[in-house]
Amino acid sequence: MKELLWESKQEPSEPESGKSGPNGAGPGGSLPNGSPKRAFAEFDPLAPPEPRGALDLRAFIEVLEDAGRLLRIKERIDWKFGVGRWTRARRKPLLFENVKGYPGQHIFTNGLADPACIGLALGFEPGTPHARVIAQTRKRLREPVAPKMVRTGPVLENVVPSIVLDLLEFPVPQWSEHDAGRYIGTWHLNISKDPETGQRNAGVYRMQLLGPKKATISASKGSDLARHVARAEAKGMELPMVVAIGAPEATVIAAGAACPAGMDEFALAGALQQKPVELIDCGHLEVPAYSEIVIEGFIHPDIRVQDGPYFDYYGRPNTNPNAFLFEATRLMYRNDPIFRGCGIGRPGAEDHQLFAFLAQLGLVDFHGSRLKQMVQNFLWKRRAFEMLQKVGRIGSELRRRG
């Protein structure tokens, strides 16, 4: 029997009565392993709200709408292929308000559809020239802003224990006909800690749903997450992980960056937005208090599963036969949560926009050879998205034949 890094895994206890979320799950209850090792933050509707430290996803959507950038999609769109087609066909932020099979739920995509949207996400005034955004952001990066722990947050409005947890209750898209299934993780945070040092890492690692509680996690061999998993496996333990969907955009930008050595991603995000990222304590890991959805769980040791096929950022179907297996043990979400995702594969899509922005800041690292990184950085900085996809496909084919 493998052992959790925190304690042995158990079935969660029954939720407390009183404050209840969906399916009668209250924000009290136990930690995912059934043992309250640390106090878990609770949502108190009578407590005065913490002042909003920076743009959360909902405030960002309002800013986009005020700037005339947001397109609200009111016609019914199918989560299977439909959301992805709309996302790839339009180069502006989209809010889907009528998703087939999910009445009342919303999906937000293309938030960073162009450089102007990136500036808005980081609190710059509408119309700020992109060159000024880059120059000012470089200055911001000189002074990291440490995250701030807060007692509560809106993501705790609903807490669901493992016994009734079902991730398919959210409108998770199947983004492309090339995808093998529904991808819950395309624009999110994967938060874990080094089992030996306790150092925290926040990254963005693709996740395909495999059922109500399980998902793949694809991470390159040189990533911090792969290192955390390897160290946990060496101890015969499972690796705790929290997935945050709909977190403030600055945190996702930071998680996608090559964070400078010794700097925490949330401190980098604080520098980007010039205000501390507000975190709540989930018992083992800290997550942004203003996330839309938080999934607590762990990565199984010594198990690898297939991720894909999926449509990757080079614009071609790809498969990872050695993905990690994630299992959810508790779910938290805001009232009327907004699912945040990204339609990958189109030249100039928001993942490309993000990497181009990070390249201009010197914060891109794809864990490849030095030559590969030089070529990619050259193309990202010049926003040569179609050429980058062509070079990537050629490189993949050469590696396959070699």
pLDDT at 20 over 80: no
Give the pLDDT mean for 183-209: 97
For 314, phi and psi rounded to 5 degrees? -80, -5
For 216-267, how does the pLDDT look when each residue is reduced to its tens digit (9 = 90+)?
999 999 899 999 999 999 999 999 999 999 999 999 999 999 988 788 999 9
For residue 154, the 8-state DSSP code is: G
DSSP 220-266: -TTSHHHHHHHHHHHTTEEEEEEEEES--HHHHHHHTS-PPTT--HH
Task: Give this prediction's pTM.
Answer: 0.86
Chain centroid offset of residue 49 CA = 25
pLDDT-above-90 percentage for the chain: 74
Range of the structural domain that residue 262 is part of:
3-401
Strand-pair partners of 80: 174
- Residue 275 has a pLDDT of 95
DSSP 37-83: SSPPP---TTSPPPPP-S--HHHHHHHHHHTT--EEE-S-B-TBTHH
Compute the mean pLDDT over every residue in the chain, rounded to the nearest whole number. 87
Alpha carbons 11 and 33: distance in angstroms, whole number: 7
- Residue 12 has a pLDDT of 34
For 210, phi and psi rounded to 5 degrees? -115, 0
CATH of the domain at 351: 2.30.110.10
Strands 278-281 and 148-149, by their bridges, are parallel
Closest CA to 341 of 145, 77, 144: 77
- Residue 26 in 3-state DSSP? coil
Give the pLDDT mean for 335-343: 97
Which H/E stretch holds residue 306? strand 305-311
Alpha carbons 398 and 148: distance in angstroms, whole number: 47
Alpha carbons 201 and 224: distance in angstroms, whole number: 7
Least confident of 36-40, 205-209, 253-257, 393-397: 36-40
- Residue 394 has a pLDDT of 77
- Residue 326 has a pLDDT of 98
Q: How many structural domains does the chain have?
A: 1
Record the tokens describing residue 164, joined without a space: 């009734």
Q: Are 309 and 178 in contact (CB under 8 A)?
A: yes
pLDDT at 133 over 90: yes
Sheet-wide strand order for 338-340: 71-73, 94-96, 106-109, 338-340
More confident residue, 233 or 4: 233
| Helix 385-401 / helix 370-381 crossing angle, nearest 10 deg | 160
Record the tokens describing residue 272, joined without a space: 């980007």
Record the tokens describing residue 11, joined without a space: 């079935």
Alpha carbons 320 and 118: distance in angstroms, whole number: 30
Instruction: Give the number of other Cβ atoms within 10 Å of residue 401's Cβ.
Output: 6
For 55-111, how does the pLDDT look when each residue is reduced to its tens digit (9 = 90+)?
899 999 999 999 999 999 999 999 999 999 999 999 999 999 999 999 999 999 999
- Residue 253 has a pLDDT of 98
